[in-house]
Amino acid sequence: MRAYLIDPYTESVTECEYNNEFTGKGGAYELLGCKMIEAVYMDQYPDIIFIDEEGRFKPQHGFMTTLWPHGPLAGKAMVAGGADSKGEGTPSTLTLRQVADSITWVKDIPEIY
């Protein structure tokens, strides 16, 4: 399903194919390149931002986003749709342009959280 990968190291936002699972080809672990994931829920959209949970403990590149205006996020992230009425994942309701336009890149952010 349609999702968007946010990569602060290359300062890019790209569409990706997410398998709606954490494991396997196209899974969140593979797409984010990590072993632990945290879900960040948006205030104004049903979509979810999945982030590398350990990214917040390492000084690194990150980003600010108006989709989640509560502070910087560190490391790679992925925007995917929320769950439907049956609990199944859905494609992102946002466009690539909406996600990309919401981003401000931040370099050398200190440990956060």
Non-local (6+) Cβ contacts of 86 within 8 A are none
Q: What percent of the chain has pLDDT over 70?
A: 93
The overall pTM is greater than 0.95:
no
Sorted by where each begins, the domain ranges of the chain are 2-109
Q: CA torsion sign, 105 to 103 to 35 to 42?
A: positive
pLDDT (tens digit, 9 = 90+) per residue, 18-65? 999 899 999 999 999 999 999 999 988 999 999 988 877 765 778 999
Query: What pLDDT does residue 109 have?
Result: 65
Q: What percent of the chain has pLDDT over 90?
A: 64
Distance between CA 61 and CA 14 in Å, rounded? 17
